[in-house]
């Protein structure tokens, strides 16, 4: 599966100066937008923890395209945040967002006896959280495992190896944009040149 975490930069310190009503209204505004994006790409919202949003693709029903859908969803989340900064609705506080994505195996299920919640665990989830915390505002930071799956479709920028808590040095990549599909004319020119 592909796991994504998002987090609002400076949220904890900023929220100390907001009224509870404004805080809840702001978080609800963003997470409602994120929920709509998850639905659009058939991705699974797992949970929110404060200002962090966690979702996954490729479950509960396996799919092949979850890394691509997750990256597209990440771009749309970044776009929501940027548009809100440029033109904030009344009583909505603009924030920068950090986004991290990782692909791998996970364990999923429901545990406990009260307030049942579907959740996911494992190293893949932990690495996705690290990709988010080591990202930069407005950027989509992916692990090498995700990069290897999306590199033919997305232009990525290698960040080098970065130290990850409890993991050591790991390769990371910023996803910059979707690569353009070659035009029919370009395809014909390539055939002629061959």
Residue of 40, 47, 165, 179 with catalytic role: 165
- Give yes or no: 130 in active site: yes
Counting Cα atoms < 13 Å in the Cβ hemisphere of 139 gives 18
Residue of 69, 98, 130, 139 with catalytic role: 130
Residue among 87, 42, 37 nearest 60 (CA):
42
The tokens for 119 are 């959740």
Residue among 78, 95, 111 nearest 18 (CA):
95
H/E stretch holding 123 reads helix 123-133
The residue length of the chain stands at: 194
CA–CA distance from 121 to each of 101, 118, 192 (Å)? 15, 10, 52
- Residue 91, Cβ density class (10 Å: 0-12 exposed, 13-18 middle, ≥19 buried): exposed
- Give yes or no: 159 in active site: no
Active-site positions read 130, 165
């Amino acid at each position: 599966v592909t796991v994504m975490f998002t987090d609002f930069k400076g949220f904890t310190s900023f929220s100390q100066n907001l009224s509870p009503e404004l805080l809840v209204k702001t978080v609800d505004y963003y997470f409602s937008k994120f929920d709509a994006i998850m639905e659009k790409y058939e991705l699974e919202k797992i949970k929110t923890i404060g200002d962090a949003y966690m979702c996954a693709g490729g479950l509960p029903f396996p799919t092949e395209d979850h890394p691509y859908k997750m990256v597209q969803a990440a771009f749309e989340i970044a776009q929501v945040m940027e548009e809100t900064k440029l033109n904030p609705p009344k009583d909505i506080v603009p924030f920068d967002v950090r986004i991290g994505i990782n692909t791998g195996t996970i364990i999923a299920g429901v545990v406990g006896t009260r307030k049942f919640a579907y959740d996911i665990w494992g190293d893949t989830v932990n690495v996705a959280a690290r990709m988010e915390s080591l990202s930069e505002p407005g950027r989509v930071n992916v692990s090498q495992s995700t990069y290897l799956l999306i590199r033919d479709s997305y232009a990525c920028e290698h960040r080098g190896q970065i130290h990850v808590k409890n993991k050591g040095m790991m390769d990371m990549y910023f996803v910059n944009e979707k690569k353009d599909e070659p035009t029919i004319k370009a395809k014909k020119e390539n055939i002629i040149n061959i």
